[in-house]
Amino acid sequence: MSDNALLHFEDLHLTFGHTIQILPKPSSPGERFESVLLGCLRGETVMVTPPPSGKFPLLSEGQQVVIRVSTLNGVALFPTLVLHIAQVPLYILYLDFPKAINFKQIRQATRVEVAMPVLVSNLNNAAYRSVAGRVSDISLGGAKLDFNQLIGNKGDEIELKGKFEIASIKRILSVRAKIRTVVHSAGVHQYGVQFFEQDEDKQLVLFGFIYSAMAIGTPKIIE
């Protein structure tokens, strides 16, 4: 399951350029806009700017917003105030420095039910290419896959390609994994796979997808 903790901003170990989400209406958590972390002055302010492309909310000084930050092992949330908005030479949003941050950690073993079509290619055996199947559950560490035909053997490395949806945004992603378990039953071939993807951007997409599915609380079906 997930764990909640109170952290300080510096405990997040964010680097400049990290993507930070702004929720301009705390009562409408589904409305989120991306921004880029420029820097911070401890105890005073956090500075962000809009991304090079994309929508950004119309904000005003004194407005209360909520900040959401995704890391590789959890999600941080904290309310803050817009202290100042600079327009020249760069649009910079100065936010009140948070005193405490609610951090929701997702353990590697947290699994959520999904129903997501995927295509799998076996990297060790060219006979299994772009085999259609479905992910039935997923975690940060791996997934359970269901197929009507074989995709390989235990120990084989595969590439899993699917459409991952996060807050109504769909992204096509290819993730590398290794087959750890194989179960054949009633014409269905079920595989347990372990992810070994090292790309941090892909890991963040995986994390966001899992957290989104957890928030819904019901099996997440992707069309």
DSSP 127-182: TS-SEEEEEEEE-SSEEEEEESS----TT-EEEEEEEEEETTEEEEEEEEEEEEEE
CATH second-level architecture of 112-221?
A: Beta Barrel (2.40)
85: β partners: 93
* Over residues 15-30, mean pLDDT: 81
CA distance 70 to 66: 13
Q: Give dist(CA 127, CA 138) in Å, integer.
A: 26
- Do the Cβ atoms of 62 and 85 come closer than 8 Å? no
User: For the residues 20-30, what does the mean pLDDT come to?
Assistant: 78
With bands split at pLDDT 50, 70 and 90, how would you rate the model's confidence at 222? very low
Beta-bridge mates of residue 181: 192
User: Poorest-confidence range of 103-107, 116-120, 206-210, 217-221?
Assistant: 217-221
Residues in the chain: 223
Please choose, from the candidates 77, 82, 83, 84, the residue with its C-alpha nearest in 3D space to the C-alpha of residue 100. Answer: 77
pTM of the model: 0.54
Looking at the chain, which residues constitute the CATH 2.40.10.220 domain(s)?
A: 112-221
Average pLDDT, the chain: 85
- Rounded Cα–Cα distance for residues 143 and 111 (Å): 8
The whole-number pLDDT of residue 48 equals 95
**Least confident interval from 60-64, 68-72, 183-187:** 68-72
CA angle 207-212-217, nearest 5°? 125
Q: Match 């807050």 to its residue by tokens.
A: 167
CATH label, 2-106, candidates 2.40.440.10, 3.40.190.10, 1.20.1280.50, 2.30.110.10: 2.30.110.10
Question: Most distant CA pair in the chain: distance in Å?
Answer: 66
Amino acid at 138: I
- Asked if residue 73 has pLDDT above 60, the reply is yes
What's the rounded Cα separation, in Å, for the pair 165 and 220? 9
**Eight-state DSSP code of residue 84:** E
Please give the average per-residue pLDDT across 54-66, as a whole number: 88
Which part of the chain has CATH 2.30.110.10? 2-106
Exposure of 92 by Cβ count < 10 A (0-12 exposed, 13-18 middle, 19+ buried)?
middle
| Contact residues for 143 (Cβ-Cβ < 8 A; gap 6+) | 135, 137, 160, 177, 192, 193, 195
